[in-house]
Structures are given as structure tokens and as C-alpha cells.
Amino acid sequence: MKKSVVLGGLMAATCIASAASADMLDDIISSGTLRCAVVLDFPPMGMRDASNNPVGFDVDYCNDLAAALGVKAEIVETAFPERIPALMAGRVDVGVASTSDTLERAKTVGFSIPYYSFENAVVGNEKAGMKTWEDMKGKTVGATAGTYEAIWIEGKIKEWGEGQFRPYQTQADVFLALSQGQIDATVATVEVSEANVKSGNFPGIAIVDKAPMVPDYVALFTMRQEYGLINYLDLFVNQQVRTGRYAELYKKWVGEGVPADLTVKGVSR
Amino acid sequence: MFSYTFQWNQALNRLPAMLDGAWVTMQIAVLSMVLGILFAIVLTGCRLSGNRILSGFATTWIEVARNTPALFQIYMAHFGVASFGLYFSPITSLLIGITFNNAGYLAENFRGALKAIPDTQTRAARSLGLTPIKAFGYVILPQMLRISFLPITNQMVWAVLMTSLGVTVGMNTDLYGVTQDLNALTFRTFELFALAAVIFYVIVKLINFGARLLAARLFRY
């Protein structure tokens, strides 16, 4: 008696589960809303304007994606470390959150082809008197926890065997600490560094050098098993470049110049 | 909806690093409690002193510690004091923040414990010729600590859990910080944080168990 009840319950649960998880692409289209995880603490990719509305490259990118799907876009503000929980818990459908597509992470989530690429800069407190990136050796260096550049500099510091690494939860905290002199330097994307140095919110900091790391390709991400959606995202990224929208968004949010090449020479994907 | 495959070995592989983090967490918690108890005794003394400045100082401390979030206290101990040119490393800031919080709560516990000790005890001690300080130190203090033993263990548990707030000031060596770092690296959020939760749980259970053993030894009549 009891066993059959449990069995029946299980069967019912599986039926509901299998019906609900048809395909995420279908789910998005039928729900009429695309929910994107966007980090709004990462200018110019994601930030808030004077009237507190989310704006930025990633926000526009999400809006474009929603328009292509014919649905409404919903920007879900997500901190860097919370991107994955937000996705897994079903609070968002897609991450448009400047997420570096490392192999380690690709074991957990599904990445599209890269939609943007960052170069990183070393920003120093003027009092630290740094000239090149190698002057970071032995210094206290901070970065935003969970970012590609944080992983890189932490590795470098371990390799050098001297100096200290400090991860902060938000980009703003890193620059606050840098401006206060709590840390001597940080590694951040050129875009973020230039925006923060120019803003004047953080006195006493200056860009020192480029960080000699592999370009930080960032990709859209979603559930790893959602091939239908990933396939769509790949094509969408391709179309953004093809139609010139990528260059347009670059000009709008980053500035004059040529946006980074999203292809890697000698290999295809 | 929740279609996710748990890969527990991805988290278990990182267990040694997380246990190192747990050790750091324990050290911070114990140190913050030892300092917290000392400061709380001083605060209690300040309150009893009858001196308006001293008791005003103690009251302010206790009010701020008990009525503002611990996160705020730790954040202030790092970014707040830095605006005045005082730089503390993340671990020091965390220690200051938790100690400040502990001292505030414990002082309030001590006040409750003091209420449970009859006034007549002080009077009896004083009439035996003990100075006010000695009467407090030899007669009242031991009873106060005994009565507030359980609240102290409670605060100890709270101190362990509060170490997880250290990430906001750049800690990455405590249990929560290590977990957060590994999460960024691998995106195995659920497995890693579930494991961290288990470790926290075990630490707290050990503290409770240790406290019970200690109580059995200390408080035999």
C-alpha cells in the first residue's frame, strides 16, 4: 500500500518534471520573457544610469537577444559570484555577464562562442610608484573575486611566492581599497580601469601598464545541457558581428576604435 | 526546473583546502572570543563604575554592537577606518569587527548574569574588608562567568558563523573565503557551499560538545 503510493508519487513527479523541462528555448519563447543575469557593477558593460536604470553593453546585448527571440527582456541584477546560483535556481535563463569561458567552468555551465573580449590593465595607487606590471611583485594586489583577472593575478602571486592577493566582492570595493591605499595595485579590464580613472571617484590611482595575459574572451552562458539554446546563442553572437551591431555597441559604450577580434587564428569553433 | 547534475567529487577534491580554511576560521573565532570576553568584562566594569564617561562609553559600544549588522561593523573596521588613514589587513579588520560585536553582546549577557547574583554578596564581601575591585574580581566575576557560560558558547557559535562575513573585506583564507574562491574557479557552487555548510555544522557541533564537557568539569558542586 505505502510502496505503491510512493511509487505513484514518484511517477507523477517524473511526468511533471519531464513536461516542464521540454527545452529552455521553448520555455523562453512561450513565457514571453527572457531573463538575463547582468552584473551592474562592471562599467561600461553593466551599470546604472542617473535614474537608476540598468544600462551598458551587456544590458543592450540582452535587449537585442530578447528582440531577436521576440520576447521581453528582463534584467536580473546579479553579483559576480551569484551568476551560477541564479542560473541553477531558475531565476535567470541566460547570463550576459561578461563571463570568462574557462575550461574549468565549462564543466559546469554551457558557454556560447565569445561575444566580447577584454584586455586587462594594471592600475596602481600613485604612492606605490609602479612603472611596469612586473612591479606588482611583492605588492598587495586586489581584484574582484571570481573574475578572470583575479584568478590570473592570484596564480601569478603564488608563482612569485611574495606579495599578497586580496579578492573583494565588488569592483567598486576594489577601487575604493586602491584609492585608500589598502592595496597597491589591481588588475582590471582596460574598459573598467579607464572608466574608473576618468570618473574621478577614486583619486590617486593611475593605469600603470597592460597586463600580459591571454585576451579574456567572455561568453554568454546557460544550462550546460540546453543545446538548443546554446546553438541559438552562438548564431546570435555571429549575427551581432555580421550585422555590425557589435561594432555599434562598442562605439556606444566603450568608445572610438576597433572592437576586439572574436576569432582565434589557426583554429575554428 | 532544477536540472542539474551534482558532481560531489569536484567539491571533495577541494576538501584539504577547505579544511585549511576551517582551521583559520576556528582561530579567528577563538581569538575574537577571548578578546571579546576580556573587553566585555571591561565594559561591564565601566558600566558598574558609576563614572558617567566610562559608562557612557560602554553603553555606546554595546548599543552600536547589538543594534547594527555585523556586516556593517566589519566593513567599517576595514573601509571606514581607512578613510582616517588607519589600514588593517582583512584578517585584522575581521577580527576587530567580530571582537567588537562579541564584546557588545557578551557585556549584555554579563549584565543579565549580574542581575541573577544577589546584591547581598557584594555587601558581604565588602564587609569582609575586600576593596570594591577585589569584591568584584573574587566574588562576583566567577559567578557571573558561570551563569553566563551557556550564552558565551552561544556567542562562540555566532563568532564562527560571522567569520563568513570576512569576504566583504577581502578575506580569502577562511572557510567561506576559500569556498568563494573555489566557486569562482569551478562554478561548482552547490557542491562547494553544501560542503562548507557541513563543515560549519561540524565545527559548531564540536564547540557545543566541547562546551558541555567543559561545563561538566568546571561546574561540579
Q: Which residue of A has its CA nearest to B83?
A: A180
Task: Determine the pLDDT at residue A13.
Answer: 54
Q: Which residue is listed with cell 551591431?
A: A245
Q: Based on the domain organization, do A111 and A221 belong to the same domain?
A: yes
Q: Based on the domain organization, do A27 and A107 belong to the same domain?
A: yes
Query: What is the fold, at CATH topology level, of the domain defined by B21-218?
Result: MetI-like fold (1.10.3720)
Q: Based on the domain organization, do A106 and A225 belong to the same domain?
A: yes
* Among candidate residues A210, A243, A262, the one where a domain is terminated: A210
B170 vs A168: CB contact, 8 Å cut-off?
A: yes
Q: Based on the domain organization, do A48 and A92 belong to the same domain?
A: yes
Task: Determine the pLDDT at residue A8.
Answer: 58
For residue A44, cis peptide bond before it (omega within 30 degrees of 0): yes
Could you tell me the sign of the dihedral formed by the alpha carbons of A107, A108, A111, A114, in that order?
negative
A105 touches chain B (CB under 8 A): yes
Which residues in chain B touch residue A167, judged by CB atoms under 8 angstroms apart? 167, 170, 172, 177, 180-181
Closest CB to A21 among B3, B83, B168: B3
A89 touches chain B (CB under 8 A): yes
A243 touches chain B (CB under 8 A): no
Tell me the residues of chain B between 150 and 209 that have a Cβ less than 8 Å away from chain A: 167-170, 172, 177, 180-181, 183-190
Other C-beta atoms within 10 Å of A31: how many?
A: 12
**Domain for residue A267, yes or no?**
no
Give the A:B interface size as CB pairs under 8 Å.
82
Task: State the smallest CA–CA distance between residue A242 and chain B in angstroms.
Answer: 31
Taking Cα atoms as reference points, which of B32, B100, B116 lies closest to residue B62? B100
**Domain for residue A12, yes or no?**
no
**Domain for residue A170, yes or no?**
yes
Task: Determine the pLDDT at residue A69.
Answer: 95
Q: Domain ranges for chain B, please list them.
A: 21-218
Closest CB to A169 among B82, B167, B188: B167
| Domains contained in chain A, number | 2
Task: Determine the pLDDT at residue A9.
Answer: 58
With a cut of 50, which residues of chain A have pLDDT below it?
1, 20
Which residues in chain A touch residue B186, judged by CB atoms under 8 angstroms apart? 104-105, 107-108
Closest CB to A223 among B3, B82, B170: B3
Q: Based on the domain organization, do A146 and A58 belong to the same domain?
A: no
Which ipTM score applies to this complex? 0.75
A85 touches chain B (CB under 8 A): yes
Task: Determine the pLDDT at residue A222.
Answer: 95
**Domain for residue A127, yes or no?**
yes
Task: Determine the pLDDT at residue A30.
Answer: 93
pTM for this entry = 0.81
**Domain for residue A196, yes or no?**
yes
A107 touches chain B (CB under 8 A): yes
**Angle at CA B37, nearest 5°, toward B98 and B21?**
40
A172 touches chain B (CB under 8 A): no
Tell me the residues of chain A between 180 and 209 that have a Cβ less than 8 Å away from chain B: 180-182
Which residues in chain B touch residue A31, judged by CB atoms under 8 angstroms apart? none
With a cut of 50, which residues of chain B have pLDDT below it?
none
B218 touches chain A (CB under 8 A): no
Which residues in chain B touch residue A178, judged by CB atoms under 8 angstroms apart? none
Give the span between the Cα atoms of B47 and B40, in whole angstroms: 10
B84 touches chain A (CB under 8 A): no
Q: Based on the domain organization, do A28 and A152 belong to the same domain?
A: no
Three-state secondary-structure class, residue B49 = coil
B189 vs A88: CB contact, 8 Å cut-off?
A: yes
| CATH classification at residue A42 | 3.40.190.10
**Domain for residue A159, yes or no?**
yes
B172 vs A166: CB contact, 8 Å cut-off?
A: yes
> Which residues constitute the domain of residue A199?
120-210
Which residues in chain B touch residue A98, judged by CB atoms under 8 angstroms apart? none
Q: Based on the domain organization, do A167 and A233 belong to the same domain?
A: no
B82 vs A182: CB contact, 8 Å cut-off?
A: yes
